[in-house]
Chains A and B, each alone.
Chain A
């Protein structure tokens, strides 16, 4: 099993550009999450999904959109990137119960100039 994979690993954008980050998991997990991690801070939840076709807002959803068209994939979109979105983005998944441990991807380092 590959676990949780993220593409791309690195990306540099100019202000106003758009992009999509892809997260894929092969563990048949129901729950998936997108976090951002900034220096000196813990992870902050952007959006999450409790199952295929469902999404919900987390702590810091502004400027981001998500889709979960397939159970194994969770996409994070930036429609108009801003320098404040420079961060490391992590995707995670967990089994049916949200109380279980989360499995994390390796992260995507995004820089917005």
Chain B
């Protein structure tokens, strides 16, 4: 079963708008990561948030983590057409190191 599950499965917005994607997971984790995948390409790491952190920023990205609800969100502000991609959350269980990926959110940003 998938550890991380993203919501929504697909999202279509206009350029300049903000995009929010959510991820839920089932077990205790050491950290949660977000990756981006452009069509036909490999995944690219965006940001990592540790289990003792609640919020992290990187450029136009803002990630939150709520371990009590076992959920995370990724906010992309002022989206651009180049942000069009699939976004995946990935978790590593406490005591382990195998990364479990969710099914992803497909984001489409219209110019």
Contacts A99-B92, A101-B33 hold; do A42 and B101 have CB atoms under 8 A apart? yes
Q: Is the CB of A43 within 8 A of B98?
A: no
Q: A58 CB to closest chain B CB, in angstroms? A: 7
The number of residues on chain A lying at the interface, defined by a beta carbon within 8 Å of a beta carbon of chain B, is 25
Cα distance, A103 to B42, chains bound together (Å): 9
Count the B residues whose beta carbon is within 8 Å of the partner chain — how many? 22
Q: Pick the contact of B98: A58, A90, A100 (CB < 8 A).
A: A58
A42 near B104 with CB under 8 A, answer yes
A41 to B99, CA, bound (A): 15
Q: Which residues of B contact A106 (CB under 8 A)?
A: 41-42
**For B104, what are the chain A residues with a Cβ–Cβ distance below 8 Å?**
42
How does the 8 Å CB contact mask read for A21-63 relative to B, with 1 for contact and 0 for none?
0000000000101010000111111001000000000100000
8 Å CB contact of A104 from B30, B43, B102: B43
Closest to B104 in A: A42
Using CB atoms, name the residue of chain A closest to B40: A107
Measured CB to CB, the nearest residue on chain B to A4 is B42
Instruction: Check: B56 CB closer than 8 A to any chain A CB.
Output: no
Chain B residues near A8 (CB-CB < 8 A):
none
Most buried by B among A41, A43, A48: A43
Q: Which residues of B contact A43 (CB under 8 A)?
A: 43, 88, 101
Residues of A within 8 A of B48 (CB): 100-101
Instruction: Write 9 A-B pairs (CB below 8 A) sorted by A numbering.
Output: A42-B88, A42-B101, A45-B98, A90-B42, A92-B42, A92-B43, A98-B98, A98-B99, A103-B45
Which 4 residue pairs of A and B lie closest in terms of their CB atoms, listed nearest first? A98-B97, A104-B42, A42-B101, A101-B45
